[in-house]
Amino acid sequence: MAGLDPRITDASSKLFAEASSLMPGGVNSPVRAFGSVGSEPFFVRSASGAEITDVDGNSYVDFVQSWGALLFGHAHPRIVEAVTAAASKGTSFGTPSELEVELARLVVGMVPGIEKVRFVSSGTEAAMTGVRLARGATGRNKIIKFAGCYHGHLDSLLVAAGSGVATLGIPGTPGVTEATTADTIVIPFNDLVALQTAIEAAGNDLAAILIEPVAANMGLILPHDGYLEGVRKLATEAGALLVFDEVITGFRLGPGGAQERFGIVADLVLLGKIVGGGLPAAALAGSAELLDELAPTGPVYQAGTLSGNPVAMAAGIATLEMITEDENLYGRLQERARDLVRGLIDAADRAEVPMVAAAIGALGGFFFSGDEIEDYEGAESTDPDVYARFFRGMLAHGFYLPPSRFEALFISDAHTEEHIDGFASAAAAVFATP
Ligand SMILES: *Cc1c(COP(=O)(O)O)cnc(C)c1O
């Protein structure tokens, strides 16, 4: 497959060399360096719809979509227009604007069980605030998280954190003290017995159970039937808050995210990625009673210079409005996600390559494995080199997949049937290449 790469990458290589002398690994977020797929990143010149074009002029059908931040593809005219209009009126005020009220109204109207939101600038901040609020509101300390679930790079949660950390094989990370993670309990996903045991061990000091309802940072792993119901029940019985990290699933599984999809209401919801429409915005959401524990109404401190940034709010509003206006959107997205995965599985079957795959909402995922994968241990047991070869082969055919086997495939409304069919054909060609 290595000899198959027809791309000219001179301009990207040159930029990467300079970038590497100026920024660690040449990037500002580790997985972008393509290290785990044995390659070098392409540098983007521009992107439109489902396609992304690099500085050497190569175009790729993009199944990363800014790691899921884009539901309508790159540079959607309506979002660009909203951003441009907002920017022309001022890019940051540090004082309230109507746009925050508008986006908050939309979020509260779409996400089940919530009454108030606090906007922040990244999913990491939303998780950090959520953990602090859960501890502040309950007066308890311990947090249960799940191996392979990722909640951003806050210190206390950087234990068995999937995605970038898993890709790099960093067990937690240097720089985080044992004291910082001492109140973090890590257990396997999809295992209610382990959860029960962990809850018992935490005694009456459990503040929250924090979970990605659909795990999308260790590949894509769906919750077993009844699992989330069980988690909800155990959290309630333990007097702990259930925090759904819907930074990926929010507005991707449906307008109401995983809560709506599975009919389960969490106590706190973390939103990010799509809620900012491709700009830096994220949110913590929940009941008025809980959210009012945050300063200035409550004692739990949290703040941000660029929180509720007008340009980001405008992008979020345009995105959520497009979601509410199109009642066929998620049916269409789900169908494409299923077609994508089905085409891939068929190609793998024909080539006798062992593969399991899943699709839900506008998310797809696959593992090179003959067995079902249901937790991080399973995901980790898959062969990184097999994924890396497939990644490079697909890139050579003009399809950009996540540069890590621990990420999901992101489908946008800009992906057409041709893109989906092309993906399957390219996969077949890659499998056929010795
Ligand atoms: C991306 C992600 C985060 C972190 O969001 P950032 O904006 O990258 O800080 C948190 N939780 C989940 C589930 C994510 O996928």
pLDDT at 366 > cutoff 90: yes
Given this model, what pLDDT does residue 6 score? 64
Given this model, what pLDDT does residue 177 score? 82
The span from the CA of 231 to the CA of 245, in Å, is 14
Spatial strand order in the sheet of 363-367:
356-360, 363-367, 409-410
Active-site residue, 273 included = yes
Given this model, what pLDDT does residue 168 score? 47
> For the segment 397-417, what is each residue's pLDDT rounded down to a tens digit?
999 999 999 999 999 999 999
Given this model, what pLDDT does residue 156 score? 87
Torsion, Cα 5 399 215 148, to 10 degrees, reads 20
What is the amino acid identity at position 146?
F
DSSP per-residue letters across 12-63: HHHHHHHHHHHSGGGSSSGGGG-GGGTS-PPPEEEEEBTEEEETTS-EEEES
Helix (H, G, I), strand (E, B) or coil at 209: strand
- Cα(122) to centroid(ligand 1), Å: 7
Given this model, what pLDDT does residue 165 score? 54
Helix (H, G, I), strand (E, B) or coil at 213: coil
Confidence of residue 181 (pLDDT cuts 50, 70, 90): confident
Of 66, 248, 268, 274, the residue with max ligand 1 atoms within 8 A of its CB, to mutate for a pocket test, comes to 248
Ligand 1: nearest atom to the Cα of 280? 7
Given this model, what pLDDT does residue 2 score? 41
The mean pLDDT value for 145-151 works out to: 94
The average confidence (pLDDT) of the chain is 95
The span from the CA of 108 to the CA of 319, in Å, is 15
Q: Assess contact for 330 and 360: CB atoms under 8 A.
A: no
Given this model, what pLDDT does residue 43 score? 98
Q: Whose CA is nearest to atom 5 of ligand 1?
A: 123
Given this model, what pLDDT does residue 180 score? 85
The domains found in the chain, sorted by start residue, are 10-63+328-432 (3.90.1150.10), 77-325 (3.40.640.10)
> For the segment 287-301, what is each residue's pLDDT rounded down to a tens digit?
999 999 999 999 999
pLDDT at 169 > cutoff 50: no
Residues flanking ligand 1, CB < 6 Å: 122-124, 127, 150-152, 212, 217, 245, 247-248, 272, 282
The mean pLDDT value for 389-396 works out to: 97
Nearest Cα residue to 329 out of 226, 414, 421, 261? 414
**Phi, then psi, of 98 in degrees rounded to 5:** -60, -30
Given this model, what pLDDT does residue 387 score? 97
Contact partners, residue 326, CB within 8 Å, separation at least 6: none
Across-strand partners of 62? 400
Q: What percent of the chain has pLDDT over 70?
A: 96
pLDDT at 332 > cutoff 50: yes
Catalytic choice (145, 273, 330, 387)? 273
Helix (H, G, I), strand (E, B) or coil at 86: helix
Sign of CA dihedral 42, 148, 280, 103: positive
pLDDT at 3 > cutoff 60: no
